[in-house]
Chains A and B, each alone.
Chain A
């Protein structure tokens, strides 16, 4: 249940993936405060996403995917709430229903021999081709991380690719989610 060097009474708890969504004042250093807390206290960040969500109120939403037992994640939430510019922290997994999505951009090494196969896979996964001035073959795919994983795996079996992923963002499916 804890990370103390002193033996823990309960070391059998299950570790699982959690998505935390943190609403913060968009002020200098706020991201450093959040990620510094994770590294300083030895917690994991599997992925991190941050963007302003309200321009007039200067609010940003940070989405963090982490892994840990419910005790560890509970402690992470409380430590986040100690940070002065943090408004609220939600653990979407514990709140029940949430949808998540991420975006990936994939630069594909395309030639005559693999062209047909690649386009079939992209069609199947609804990956969208993005035109660009260098005429390189770049696809955009959005959706659940699992689906993107499968897409990447399949394309990778055909040819060399370069990938960039946003990491997931997520939102609760309950109506009128109160912000803070």
Chain B
């Protein structure tokens, strides 16, 4: 049934029709009609952030913790340019977002009007798709297509730019069921045209002597069922499994087959196993440079299977032997079914030898660090945080840097969607607003942003948001007064010249929290740590816990840039060889 309403009403009706419950946004001149409509209704909740960059990270946190689409509403010009970082972040990490931006009225477009910018032009490379809607009758078809595209295939951000006159103009609303999206505009899976690929995969795995599963964020995007299927397949085959930063939680940390995270700051045993395996089964990961290290030395003797929903990831950096393009859930269903129908097994004596080898690597105990009685070691702080929160429904978000890697190493994840971090783009300032979004979506859960003292300041204004909506988000700052990862690289690669990586004049984080009417806590010594963590968990308010940690601790183990998986550096005393260090310097 077609019914006439204003463009702004069409926007709201489309959101309701799409099942949207929460919008993260910030008003301004070019979205006033939409905010006016928002005022007159009760079905959609609006969370007012304090900077648009916070809105989009909050929407990412909402999306990542629920699997739903995160929705953002901001104004034209600076409102739109402030979401560019978050759009790029969501693009890199495949997070479904629909971002609505206001635009100046059509007759002013191109005139350098107040708060005008070429929003679709600026956001074209950092969205999956974007629209400038010039006709109110096209608004609802565009919205319904946008929500489909954001979630379809490899998820990502979609932006809809709406001139102010279109928000006022009358138009027809069309329900989502009546919208037909041409198939070429959507992901077209091709896997089931080709059962040979599935047989090729299971044959390779069953004949493997040293197989390894390499599991990525695609398994999380595919939905909770995918994680179960991946675990099931890993168990059936008895092979070890390692996860990327984005894939943590797909297989529980305590699972006997889990080797933990791989890559630059991954586990020694995971990287060694990747280097020595004979069959690698990549499920939903993209051979990112943080994972592969030096390409010409990456897993030199393995046959590589790559299951990915995005065909452009196949052979992008690493040439693979068997590509399978499809959704993880569908592909895994098919693999397990074929494995069982054909009554395949892996060779248990080969696997036993393989596990023996892996167990000798495990004995290296790569996460070992020397604890201290006087200073809180950052690793110890995360260990204690994990121990004291593991029995609760806990979501962990992070900013970017050393604390992020320590969190990935020392916090153990048993379930998908509980770990929210900026992997691809590496956005400092992501964690706190993402935690706000996760807390909005999961009001009764414990949501903790593990932060660094530098990162947290990038979106500290959102304290005001957290307090306004009574969101009991916990900010757990590992405070070393440095941009720790920058300092670490300067120490290892730039002769210890700490150029601009020390943060002078940091705020007093306890007083800062109090000024927002939140709770501020501080631990300076190891014996204070547990009490502070417990008080933080048990306070039903926004809390900043300022944890003073060792200032010059480095994050190990580490594959330094330009090195290979089997050249991990385990401690400060172990130097990378000179020539690869020089070569690695130019890399990021």
Contact = CB atoms under 8 A, between A and B. Distances in A.
Nearest to A32: B124
A33 B128 CA distance: 10
20 contacts: A4-B317, A5-B289, A6-B289, A6-B562, A7-B295, A8-B296, A9-B295, A25-B185, A29-B132, A32-B121, A32-B124, A36-B125, A37-B125, A75-B316, A78-B312, A81-B311, A82-B310, A84-B129, A84-B185, A85-B185
Given A5-B588, A6-B292, A82-B312, 10 more contacts: A5-B289, A5-B586, A10-B319, A29-B130, A32-B121, A32-B124, A33-B124, A71-B315, A79-B312, A81-B312
Interface residues of B, number: 29
Contacts, number: 65
Contacts of A8: 295-296
A75 B315 contact: yes
Given A1-B319, A88-B184, A75 B312 contact: yes
Nearest to B120: A29
Contacts of B295: 2, 4, 6-9
Contact of A6 (B121, B125, B587): B587
B302 to A, nearest CB: 13
Nearest to B584: A6
Nearest to B149: A84
A180 B315 contact: no
Contacts of A7: 294-296
Nearest to A79: B312
Nearest to A80: B312
Nearest to A29: B120
A74 B311 CA distance: 11
A82 B587 CA distance: 28
A138 B129 CA distance: 43
A165 interface: no
B440 interface: no
A2 B319 CA distance: 10
Interface string B306-336: 0000111011110100000000000000000
Interface of B: 120-121, 124-125, 128-130, 132, 149, 184-185, 289, 292-296, 310-312, 314-317, 319, 562, 586-588
A96 interface: no
Interface in A43-100: 71, 74-75, 78-79, 81-82, 84-88
A5 B317 CA distance: 10
Nearest to A7: B296
Interface of A: 1-2, 4-10, 25, 28-29, 32-33, 36-37, 40, 71, 74-75, 78-79, 81-82, 84-88, 180
Contacts of B587: 5-6
A29 B319 CA distance: 33
Main secondary structure of the interface of B (DSSP, over half): mixed
Nearest to A37: B125
A2 B129 contact: no
Given A7-B295, A82-B310, A28 B316 contact: no
Q: Which of B120, B315, B316, B319 has the most CB of A within 10 A?
A: B316
A116 B420 CA distance: 76
> Interface centre among B184, B289, B294, by most A CB within 10 Å?
B184
Nearest to B562: A6
A74 B315 contact: yes
A32 to B, nearest CB: 6
A86 B296 CA distance: 34
A78 B121 CA distance: 22
B554 to A, nearest CB: 23
Given A36-B124, A84-B128, A4 B289 contact: yes
Contacts of A5: 289, 586-588
A140 B289 CA distance: 51
A2 to B, nearest CB: 5
Given A33-B124, A84-B185, A87-B184, A6 B294 contact: yes
A180 B182 CA distance: 12
A1 B315 contact: yes
B132 A28 contact: yes
Contacts of A32: 121, 124
Contacts of A71: 315
A93 to B, nearest CB: 18
B517 to A, nearest CB: 45
Contacts of B312: 75, 78-79, 81-82
Contacts of B184: 86-88, 180
A78 B149 contact: no
A2 B317 contact: yes
B443 to A, nearest CB: 35
A65 B121 CA distance: 24
Nearest to B187: A82
A29 B314 contact: no
Contacts of A33: 124
A166 B185 CA distance: 29
A43 B124 CA distance: 17
Nearest to B154: A82
Contacts of B292: 6
A157 B189 CA distance: 56
Contact of B125 (A4, A40, A84, A88): A40
B147 to A, nearest CB: 13
A75 to B, nearest CB: 6
A130 B455 CA distance: 66
Nearest to B184: A87
B282 to A, nearest CB: 16
A1 B296 CA distance: 11
In order of increasing CB-CB distance, the 6 nearest A-B pairs are: A78-B312, A84-B129, A9-B296, A87-B184, A6-B295, A7-B296
Contacts of A40: 125
A88 B129 CA distance: 17
A28 B587 CA distance: 38
A62 B578 CA distance: 49
A157 to B, nearest CB: 44
A159 B257 CA distance: 77
Contacts of B129: 84
Nearest to A5: B587
Contact of A78 (B128, B296, B311): B311
B169 to A, nearest CB: 19
A90 B587 CA distance: 35
A71 B120 CA distance: 31
A5 B129 CA distance: 28
Contacts of B185: 25, 84-85
B315 to A, nearest CB: 7
Contacts of A88: 184
B576 to A, nearest CB: 15
Nearest to B583: A7
A31 B586 CA distance: 34
For A32, A37, A82, which residue has the most chain B Cβ atoms within 10 angstroms? A82
